[in-house]
Structure 1
Amino acid sequence: MELLLVDDDATDRELFAHAVSMTGKEHKIQEAQNGEVALQYLHSANHLPDLIILDLNMPIKDGRETLAELKASPRLRNIPVCIMSTSSAPFDIESAYNTGANLFLVKPFDFKKLIEMLTSLLTLFSTYVTLPNRRLS
């Protein structure tokens, strides 16, 4: 499974990659430090990720703007997007779903909980979810 992790915090990206490696399955992870970098990558990619993990609060182009642009793009709109944020504010959750997020997860502060969350998420997406064929030639 190919993932795109969009998060401005380098430590969070490193913890995420380490937690994914502990899930027991191999997944390819691309990283972007903000929404602008993520969108540039996606618009130029030869094939698209199976899942985007998107933080909300980032400089330059935040997760809210990025999600809106993803869902407005005919090429990108069908990529599942999971918001993973420290925010649990009802406004952020409702806004994310209204804009087209497929899931909203609150980042756990405990590394063990992060591994459990990612194991469940990635098992769901790699085993049970049927995704549209987005491979480009």
Structure 2
Amino acid sequence: MENAPTVWIVDDDEDDQMMIEAAFKEVIFPLAIKQLSDGNEVLSQLEKAFSLPKLILLDLNMPLKNGFDVLTELRSIPAYKKLPVVVLTTSSSEDDRRKSLALGANEFLIKPCSLKAVVHMLRRLVSEWNLN
């Protein structure tokens, strides 16, 4: 999968990671997925990465470093300012949406509850971010 686009899923919930990965497999192949369960891992993993991901799906509510902190750090580094980051969260708070977008998220989405709804959402993201 050398030339496959890479998507990073940054989420502390293993069930959500697995559902998103399973949905991606229904939408696009080949695709390389990297799962990170802690916001603290994002910068160090980006620094080690051979190439930047085509898209980062970022949860807001993580215990050690939340999504807001990750966005703030990413957007403060010139090399990562244009890295596509979609906040994917259970929060339906308008304040969270506004803050995410103000901090540089490209989009704010509420996590769907079913695999079918996740597949539908990912089809749109694959098209929107030219992952195929």
**Shared fold per TM-score greater than 0.5:** yes
Is residue 114 of structure 2 the alignment partner of residue 113 of structure 1?
no
- Out of 72, 82, 87, the position equivalent to 2:86 is 82
Q: Deviation of residue 13 (structure 1)? A: 0.6
User: Which residue is 2:30 aligned to?
Assistant: 26
CA RMSD of aligned residues (A): 1.4
> In the alignment, is residue 4 of structure 1 matched against residue 8 of structure 2?
yes
Deviation at 1:111, TM superposition (A): 1.3
How far 1:25 moved relative to its partner?
3.3
Aligned partner of 1:43 among 42, 47, 50 = 47
Q: Is the 8 A contact 2:97 2:108 kept in 1?
A: yes
TM-score, structure 2 as length reference: 0.92
Distance 1:66 1:127 in 2: 23
The TM-score normalised by the length of structure 1 is 0.89
C-alpha separation between the residues in 2 aligned to 1:24 and 1:82? 18
Give the whole-Å Cα distance in 2 for the aligned partners of 1:78 and 1:55.
Answer: 18
Looking at structure 2, the residues matched to 99 and 124 of structure 1 have their Cα atoms a distance apart, in angstroms, of 21
Unaligned regions of 5+ residues in structure 1, if any? Answer: 129-137
Identity of aligned residues (%): 34
1:127 positional shift: 6.2
119-128 vs 74-83, which moves further: 119-128
The answer as to 2:70 corresponding to 1:66 is yes
Hey, which bits of structure 1, 4+ residues long, moved more than 4 A? Answer: none
Specify whether residues 41 and 118 from structure 1 end up closer, same or farther in structure 2 by C-alpha distance, changes over 3 A only. Answer: same
Question: Which amino acid is 2:84 matched to?
Answer: P
* Counterpart for residue 59 of structure 2: 55
Number of paired residues?
128
| Partner SS, residue 30 of structure 1 | strand
How far apart, CA to CA, are the structure 1 residues paired with 2:47 and 2:96?
26
